[in-house]
Structure 1
Amino acid sequence: MSIENLTPEQQQAIEAATFRRLLQHLDERKDAQNIDLMNLAGFCRNCLAKWYKAAAEQENVEVDYDQARERVYGMPYSEWKEKHQQAATPEQLAKFEQQNSK
């Protein structure tokens, strides 16, 4: 079977598995800070949480932002921040500001 012949259910299952693998990868790479992700890819874990919340709302499922962040981070955001978030360097902040002023 080729990708062109996927049923909607197969496509959804593959996309869901891909999302779970992305979350697993980010969990394994706590050294990849959100500012790094933003500077390199234009999105971060918080963006994923916002997209998760929006997708839930489209399905009429009530998810608040903190719940979505916990799903993405694998723990409450405050805990992840305390354990894993590093202060952004002046260089990281300058690059972020430069990219977001365009």
Structure 2
Amino acid sequence: MAIDDKTRTELEAAVFRRLLEHLRARHDVQNIDLMNLAGFCRNCLSNWMKEEADAKGVVVSKDESREAVYGMPYETWKSKYQGAASPEQMAAMKKAQGGH
């Protein structure tokens, strides 16, 4: 792609926002399913956001980065949408991710 850095950054930011919107709409997809299939989940995204903020000297708490990803406080999302992981899901995660 022959685009300048500013445009590339704007496109990447727009894609990230769409990913977050998609994940917020698909709360039926559990984090463990994401981990088992893709090797990352919503919590990973929020951790990466916090790590990048820390690297740039921007103060962002873990709760703030999670709310930015989940679109609501994490505890609210968990109580509304997070189901219990099945033994099969847990076994798959341990096998694929080493117990992430």
TMscore range, shorter length = over 0.9
Equivalent pairs counted in the alignment come to 99
The TM-score, its normalising length taken from structure 1, stands at: 0.92
Give yes or no for the alignment of 1:48 onto 2:45: yes
Q: 1:92 aligns with which of 73, 89, 94?
A: 89
Gaps of 5+ in 2: none
Deviations 1:3-32 (A, max 9, x none): 2x2111101000000000000000110011
Regions of 4+ moved over 2 Å: none
Supply the RMSD in Å over aligned alpha carbons. 1.3
Q: TM-score, normalised by structure 2?
A: 0.94
Per the alignment, residue 10 of structure 1 pairs with: 7
Structure 2 counterpart of 1:9, which letter? Answer: K
Identity across matched positions, percent: 53
Larger radius of gyration: 1
